[in-house]
Amino acid sequence: MFQPEVESMVRAELDSLQLERLNALLERAYANVPTYREKFDSAGTRPHVDDLAGLAGLPFTVKDDLRAAYPYGMFAVPLHDIVRVHSSSGTTGQITVVGYTEGDISRWADMMARTIACAGGTADDVVQIAYGYGLFTGGLGVHYGAERLGATAIPISGGNTKRQVQVMKDFGTTILACTPSYAVLIGETAMEMGIDPHDLPLRAGVFGAEPWSDNMRTQIEEMLGITAIDIYGLSEVLGPGVASECLEKHGLHVNEDHFIIEIVDPETLLPVPDGEQGEVVFTTLTKEGIPVIRYRTRDISRIIPGECQCGRTFRRMERVTGRTDDMLIIRGVNVFPSQIEQVLAGIPGVAPHYQVVLSKRGSMDHVEVHVEVGPEVAFDEIKTLERLRNRVASEIASTLAVSLDVKLVEPKSIQRSEGKAKRVVDLRNEGSE
Amino acid sequence: MVMQLTVFLENSPGRLAGLTRALGNAGVNMRALMVADTAEFGVVRIICDRPEVARGALEGAGFSVSVTTVIAVEVPDRPGGLADVLEVIGSVDANVEYAYCFVEPGGNSAIDIFRVDDARTVTDALRAAGIRVLGEDEVYASGS
């Protein structure tokens, strides 16, 4: 553990720390951010809670609040005190801007150092940071954490995959940080270059910024010969470092000295009991630049009840299974693309690359899952391919409770991503087939 | 035994043209080409003069290629010629996964290609029955 005195704090102490920080945050936000003052005033709520349960009575913050305040309207300090800005990746619309004070950057570095330490990282590690550097929080976020831990940071950023492999080999990378889909591409590229990742010193990966499954984890771990952990974050709340799996790989410890996590029913917006799925909501306790109160992330997860073997007392959220806004409703059934990935990763002969293609057939929505045939499949016989397709279709049907058309496509024909993979292609507004 | 290339193709316009152009540019001469298709995809099976060159050219052009060994048999060009061959294959309980044939220009026989589940047994049985099983050189070489 990077900061054991905090990460394994006695629960009661942590609760009182949270309450004290929460009230300080509410006061600060109310005094300095017009959006919050208006929200609290119009809800008739005071910016104060008597206990942590009181948080559930406060108004939510949503992405549109940040968009409306573009670029700096929700900053709680003058620009003079902001030392850096980042922005959201804009995957779901207009970008939003977040600002960090010097203190924010330092706390973020601590949290990312904890995250790398969660993967077993120490000052002896060489961390290859293949997240994009720039407005995206991934690259610089991980970078400061690696430096804070005392490890050696390789700020290679994303892209140029052959060079990633060469650097990994030549510089003796021991920890890789990137999106899980990019880790797969790096592994495939290494094999094509005749470099077996198992022969390299690489031993761990911290992967995040997109949903992935346990099956995909197993594939990456086998392909690269590493331990892979899931890390979680979002720019509106911090960037990478909000929560991280430990080596137990059973849920992501939320940095609860800096954040309060709530899980709410996305319809009623009421908190759900621990263990039940819902939308993840975060409140930032220590952020100075752009604090958020009950920020609705749109990510779907749940709290994993109970204590973790690793000794950290921070509660764990389950890996994010999807987003309320990528959720597809197919013939009345809620489907997340990550569930499809989970199925595919368990079937030999198909690659973990897929796309869900939505189109119109007449007035009906038509959903087709495009799946790459793995390079190892002896596809000479049609029956081999048909058996494979039928197996994919039947496993999807039994896991998702809805049957989807499955189309086998040529190996390597689905576009590879160096960042977040594009899993859903919506052609419904581009004329009929 | 003879090497056959199999290429996995999605059904999309121009894909087969692209495949054959890649072979043509590499100077590969095809002896036989057979397309097996389903609603969404096809597999194209090719016998050509230089299978390794062809494979390299196709992979270089982004196609997915697998190499399969098949049996090539000379079949007399007369009624019942193919039936004689298949009866021998049936007699050793082998399954034919697929078969196709091409005719030698100016000759009195056809070349039949068989994919069977037990190539060794089938080859021995065919030879024992006096049927000519062709070697690679005889199949890859141009018949003209």
For residues A149-155, average pLDDT? 98
Confidence band of A93 (pLDDT split at 50, 70, 90): low
Nearest Cβ partner for B8 among A373, A386, A407:
A373
What is the three-state SS of A11-49?
HHHHHHHHHHHHHHHHHHHHHHCHHHHHHHHHHCCCCCC
In tens, the pLDDT along A263-283 reads: 999 889 999 999 999 999 999
Which domains, from first to last, does chain B contain? 2-68 (3.30.2130.10), 71-140 (3.30.70.260)
Interface mutation vs chain B, best among A380, A381, A408, most B CBs within 10 Å: A380
Poorest-confidence range of A328-337, A424-433, B71-80, B115-124? A424-433
Extended strands (E) in A236-349: 239-245, 252-254, 259-264, 278-284, 295-301, 303-304, 316-317, 322-323, 328-330, 333-335
A71 prior amide bond cis, ω within 30: yes
Instruction: Report helix angle A337-345 to A214-224, nearest 10.
Output: 50
Written as one letter, the residue type at A137 is T
CATH hierarchy code of domain A1-325? 3.40.50.12780
Q: Which CATH number fits domain A328-426: 3.20.20.140, 3.30.300.30, 3.40.50.2020, 3.50.50.60?
A: 3.30.300.30
> B4 contacts in A (CB within 8 Å)?
380
Chain A residue with the nearest C-alpha to that of B4: A380
Any idea where the domains of chain A sit in the sequence?
1-325, 328-426
Instruction: Check residue A323 and give its pLDDT.
Output: 78
In tens, the pLDDT along A174-217 reads: 999 999 989 999 999 999 999 999 999 999 999 998 888 888 89
Q: Using the predicted structure, report yes or no on whether residue A378 has a pLDDT greater than 90.
A: no
> A380 contacts in B (CB within 8 Å)?
4, 6, 43, 45, 66, 68, 115
Q: H-helix or E-strand containing A370?
A: strand A364-373
Written as one letter, the residue type at B82 is L
| Alpha-carbon gap: B74 to the closest alpha carbon of chain A (Å) | 23
In tens, the pLDDT along A59-73 reads: 999 999 998 999 999
Q: Using the predicted structure, report yes or no on whether residue B142 has a pLDDT greater than 70.
A: no
d(CA B56, CA B62): 10
Classify residue A145 by its DSSP letter. H
In tens, the pLDDT along B15-54 reads: 889 999 999 999 999 999 999 887 778 899 999 999 999 9
> B40 contacts in A (CB within 8 Å)?
407-408
Extended strands (E) in chain B: 2-10, 30-37, 41-48, 64-76, 96-103, 109-116
Partner A contacted by B35 (CB < 8 A): no
| Alpha-carbon gap: A369 to the closest alpha carbon of chain B (Å) | 12
Written as one letter, the residue type at A76 is A
Poorest-confidence range of B64-68, B69-73, B129-133? B64-68
> B6 contacts in A (CB within 8 Å)?
379-380
What's the number of CA atoms in the CB half-sphere (13 Å) around residue A161? 19
Confidence band of A90 (pLDDT split at 50, 70, 90): low
Q: Using the predicted structure, report yes or no on whether residue B5 has a pLDDT greater than 90.
A: yes
